Amino acid sequence: MAGKGKTGRPSARSKGAAAKTESGRLRLRLRAVTHQAEDTRAFEFVDPDGRELPPFTAGAHIDVHLPGELTRQYSLCNDPVERHRYVVAVLREPAGRGGSRTLHDHIKVGDVLEITAPRNNFAIDKRAKRHLLLAGGIGVTPMLAMIHTLQAGGADFTLYYCTRNWDKTAFRDELGPLIETERAIVHHDDGRIERSLDLGKLLKQPAAGTHVYYCGPAGFMRAAKAAAEHWPKGTVHFEYFSVDAAPAQGAPQAADTAKKPGADFQIKIASTGQVLDVPLNRTIVEVLAAAGISVETSCEAGLCGTCRTRYLAGEPEHRDYILDEDEQREYVLICCARAKSHLLVLDL
Contact positions toward ligand FES, by CB under 6 A?
297-300, 302-307, 320, 333, 335
Residue whose C-beta lies closest to ligand FES: 335
Least Å distance, CB 287 to ligand FES, is: 14
Nearest Cα residue to 176 out of 189, 186, 162: 186
Q: Edge-to-edge, what's the strand order for the sheet holding 236-239?
A: 184-188, 156-163, 130-136, 210-215, 236-239
- Give the residue with the Cβ less far from ligand FES, 197 or 299: 299
Query: Which H, E and C letters describe 50-71, residue by residue?
Result: CCECCCCCCCCEEEEEECCCEE
Residues 166/172/173/179 CA torsion (nearest 10 deg) = -110
Name, in order, each residue with C-beta under 8 angstroms of 208's C-beta and a sequence gap of 6 or more. 129
DSSP string, 94-146: TTSSSHHHHHHHH--TT-EEEEEEEE-SS---TT-SEEEEEEEGGGHHHHHHH
Least Å distance, CB 303 to ligand FES, is: 6
**136 pairs with which residues across the strands?**
162
Q: Other C-beta atoms within 10 Å of 57: how many?
A: 16
- Give the residue with the Cβ less far from ligand FES, 147 or 337: 337
CA distance linking residue 135 with residue 162, whole number of Å: 6
Least Å distance, CB 22 to ligand FES, is: 20
- Give the residue with the Cβ less far from ligand FES, 41 or 302: 302
Least Å distance, CB 289 to ligand FES, is: 12
- Give the residue with the Cβ less far from ligand FES, 40 or 309: 309
Least Å distance, CB 151 to ligand FES, is: 30
- Give the residue with the Cβ less far from ligand FES, 4 or 148: 4
Nearest Cα residue to 59 out of 71, 44, 74: 74
- Give the residue with the Cβ less far from ligand FES, 227 or 303: 303
Least Å distance, CB 27 to ligand FES, is: 21
Least Å distance, CB 305 to ligand FES, is: 5
- Give the residue with the Cβ less far from ligand FES, 167 or 244: 244
